[in-house]
Amino acid sequence: MGMNRHPSETEHTTLASRRGFTVLAAVALAATLTSPHARDVALDAARAVVNLPVSAVGVVWGRAHGGTCVIHDDLFITCESMDSGFTDAGTTVGNVWLYGTLDGPDRYRHESRHADQWAVVGPSFPVLYGAEFVRTGGRQQNVFEEWAGLHDGGYLR
Protein backbone atom coordinates (compact mmCIF):
# COMPACT_ATOMS: atom_id res chain seq x y z
CA MET A 1 0.00 0.00 0.00
CA GLY A 2 2.48 2.64 1.17
CA MET A 3 2.22 6.18 -0.21
CA ASN A 4 -0.29 5.35 -2.97
CA ARG A 5 -2.97 4.16 -0.58
CA HIS A 6 -6.38 5.85 -1.05
CA PRO A 7 -8.70 6.41 1.92
CA SER A 8 -11.52 3.91 2.20
CA GLU A 9 -15.18 4.95 2.09
CA THR A 10 -15.37 4.59 5.88
CA GLU A 11 -12.35 6.85 6.31
CA HIS A 12 -13.94 9.44 3.97
CA THR A 13 -17.15 9.34 6.03
CA THR A 14 -15.21 9.71 9.28
CA LEU A 15 -13.20 12.63 7.90
CA ALA A 16 -16.38 14.29 6.63
CA SER A 17 -18.03 13.83 10.02
CA ARG A 18 -15.04 15.36 11.77
CA ARG A 19 -15.00 18.29 9.36
CA GLY A 20 -18.73 18.78 9.83
CA PHE A 21 -18.35 18.72 13.60
CA THR A 22 -15.41 21.14 13.43
CA VAL A 23 -17.38 23.55 11.23
CA LEU A 24 -20.42 23.31 13.51
CA ALA A 25 -18.27 23.92 16.59
CA ALA A 26 -16.57 26.91 14.93
CA VAL A 27 -19.91 28.44 13.90
CA ALA A 28 -21.33 27.90 17.40
CA LEU A 29 -18.25 29.46 18.98
CA ALA A 30 -18.36 32.43 16.61
CA ALA A 31 -22.06 32.99 17.29
CA THR A 32 -21.51 32.65 21.02
CA LEU A 33 -18.77 35.25 21.00
CA THR A 34 -20.68 37.75 18.86
CA SER A 35 -24.22 37.73 20.25
CA PRO A 36 -25.61 37.41 23.78
CA HIS A 37 -28.79 35.85 22.37
CA ALA A 38 -26.76 33.27 20.42
CA ARG A 39 -24.79 32.51 23.58
CA ASP A 40 -28.02 31.92 25.52
CA VAL A 41 -29.38 29.67 22.78
CA ALA A 42 -26.14 27.68 22.70
CA LEU A 43 -26.16 27.28 26.49
CA ASP A 44 -29.84 26.23 26.51
CA ALA A 45 -29.11 23.64 23.83
CA ALA A 46 -26.04 22.33 25.68
CA ARG A 47 -28.04 22.01 28.91
CA ALA A 48 -30.82 20.15 27.09
CA VAL A 49 -28.36 17.71 25.50
CA VAL A 50 -26.53 17.00 28.75
CA ASN A 51 -29.81 16.52 30.63
CA LEU A 52 -31.55 14.53 27.88
CA PRO A 53 -31.43 11.01 29.42
CA VAL A 54 -32.81 12.08 32.80
CA SER A 55 -35.23 14.54 31.16
CA ALA A 56 -36.76 11.69 29.17
CA VAL A 57 -37.46 9.90 32.45
CA GLY A 58 -38.95 13.13 33.84
CA VAL A 59 -41.37 13.49 30.93
CA VAL A 60 -42.49 9.86 31.23
CA TRP A 61 -42.98 10.37 34.98
CA GLY A 62 -44.93 13.60 34.45
CA ARG A 63 -47.24 12.07 31.84
CA ALA A 64 -47.78 8.98 34.02
CA HIS A 65 -49.00 11.29 36.81
CA GLY A 66 -51.49 13.20 34.65
CA GLY A 67 -49.22 16.06 33.63
CA THR A 68 -49.41 18.07 30.44
CA CYS A 69 -45.84 18.52 29.21
CA VAL A 70 -44.74 21.47 27.08
CA ILE A 71 -41.30 22.22 25.61
CA HIS A 72 -40.49 25.94 25.83
CA ASP A 73 -38.23 28.08 23.64
CA ASP A 74 -35.31 27.58 26.03
CA LEU A 75 -35.80 23.78 25.77
CA PHE A 76 -36.97 23.65 29.40
CA ILE A 77 -40.00 21.38 29.78
CA THR A 78 -42.90 22.00 32.13
CA CYS A 79 -45.22 19.16 33.12
CA GLU A 80 -48.12 20.92 34.82
CA SER A 81 -51.42 19.86 36.36
CA MET A 82 -49.95 16.67 37.78
CA ASP A 83 -52.10 14.93 40.36
CA SER A 84 -49.08 13.46 42.26
CA GLY A 85 -45.43 12.54 41.82
CA PHE A 86 -43.75 15.80 42.88
CA THR A 87 -42.81 17.57 46.11
CA ASP A 88 -44.19 20.85 47.42
CA ALA A 89 -44.19 23.48 44.64
CA GLY A 90 -42.60 21.08 42.20
CA THR A 91 -39.61 18.95 41.39
CA THR A 92 -37.09 19.44 38.61
CA VAL A 93 -35.65 16.34 36.95
CA GLY A 94 -33.06 17.24 34.35
CA ASN A 95 -34.75 19.83 32.11
CA VAL A 96 -38.25 18.94 33.32
CA TRP A 97 -40.23 20.81 35.97
CA LEU A 98 -42.93 18.56 37.45
CA TYR A 99 -45.70 20.40 39.32
CA GLY A 100 -49.39 20.81 39.98
CA THR A 101 -50.72 24.34 39.68
CA LEU A 102 -48.12 26.60 41.32
CA ASP A 103 -46.27 28.28 38.47
CA GLY A 104 -45.28 31.72 37.25
CA PRO A 105 -42.18 33.40 35.83
CA ASP A 106 -40.31 33.51 39.16
CA ARG A 107 -40.81 29.80 39.81
CA TYR A 108 -39.97 29.00 36.20
CA ARG A 109 -36.66 30.88 36.52
CA HIS A 110 -35.94 29.13 39.84
CA GLU A 111 -36.64 25.65 38.49
CA SER A 112 -34.70 26.40 35.30
CA ARG A 113 -31.66 27.11 37.48
CA HIS A 114 -32.11 23.65 39.03
CA ALA A 115 -31.89 22.29 35.46
CA ASP A 116 -28.53 24.10 35.18
CA GLN A 117 -27.48 22.35 38.40
CA TRP A 118 -28.52 18.98 36.97
CA ALA A 119 -26.39 19.69 33.88
CA VAL A 120 -23.33 20.61 35.94
CA VAL A 121 -23.58 17.96 38.68
CA GLY A 122 -25.11 15.15 36.65
CA PRO A 123 -27.09 12.16 37.92
CA SER A 124 -25.67 12.56 41.43
CA PHE A 125 -27.59 15.85 41.82
CA PRO A 126 -30.52 14.35 43.82
CA VAL A 127 -28.11 12.63 46.21
CA LEU A 128 -26.13 15.83 46.77
CA TYR A 129 -29.33 17.87 47.13
CA GLY A 130 -30.65 15.38 49.68
CA ALA A 131 -27.40 15.41 51.63
CA GLU A 132 -27.47 19.21 51.68
CA PHE A 133 -31.10 19.13 52.83
CA VAL A 134 -30.15 16.83 55.73
CA ARG A 135 -27.05 18.90 56.56
CA THR A 136 -28.96 22.20 56.69
CA GLY A 137 -32.28 20.92 58.00
CA GLY A 138 -34.35 22.49 55.25
CA ARG A 139 -34.48 24.36 51.99
CA GLN A 140 -33.76 27.95 53.00
CA GLN A 141 -30.17 27.14 53.94
CA ASN A 142 -29.68 24.59 51.16
CA VAL A 143 -26.92 25.80 48.84
CA PHE A 144 -28.74 24.44 45.77
CA GLU A 145 -31.85 26.44 46.66
CA GLU A 146 -29.75 29.53 47.33
CA TRP A 147 -28.09 29.17 43.90
CA ALA A 148 -31.50 28.74 42.27
CA GLY A 149 -32.74 31.89 44.01
CA LEU A 150 -34.60 31.72 47.30
CA HIS A 151 -36.93 34.57 46.37
CA ASP A 152 -37.79 33.12 42.95
CA GLY A 153 -38.44 29.77 44.61
CA GLY A 154 -40.90 31.32 47.04
CA TYR A 155 -38.75 30.68 50.12
CA LEU A 156 -38.48 34.38 50.99
CA ARG A 157 -41.61 36.50 51.18
Instruction: Please state the domain count of the chain.
Output: 1
Q: What is the pTM of this model?
A: 0.77
Q: 138 lies in a domain?
A: yes
pLDDT at residue 37 in the model: 83
Q: Kindly state the average pLDDT of the residues 86-114.
A: 92
Q: 76 lies in a domain?
A: yes
**Lowest-confidence segment of 47-51, 129-133, 138-142 by average pLDDT:** 138-142
Q: 1 lies in a domain?
A: no
Domain range enclosing 138: 11-148
User: Using one digit for the tens of pLDDT, what is the confidence trace for 43-70?
Assistant: 898 899 999 999 999 999 999 999 999 9
Q: 17 lies in a domain?
A: yes
- Residue 152, SS3? coil
Q: 5 lies in a domain?
A: no
Gap between the Cα atoms of 73 and 31, Å rounded: 18
**pLDDT of 31 strictly over 60:** yes
Bridge partner residues of 58 (DSSP): none
**Lowest-confidence segment of 3-12, 107-116, 126-135 by average pLDDT:** 3-12
Q: 154 lies in a domain?
A: no
Residue scoring higher pLDDT (94 or 37) = 94
Contacts of 60 by beta carbon, 8 Å cutoff, 6+ apart: none
Q: 57 lies in a domain?
A: yes
Q: 155 lies in a domain?
A: no
Question: Would you call 56 exposed, middle or buried from its count of C-beta atoms within 10 A (0-12, 13-18, 19+)?
Answer: middle
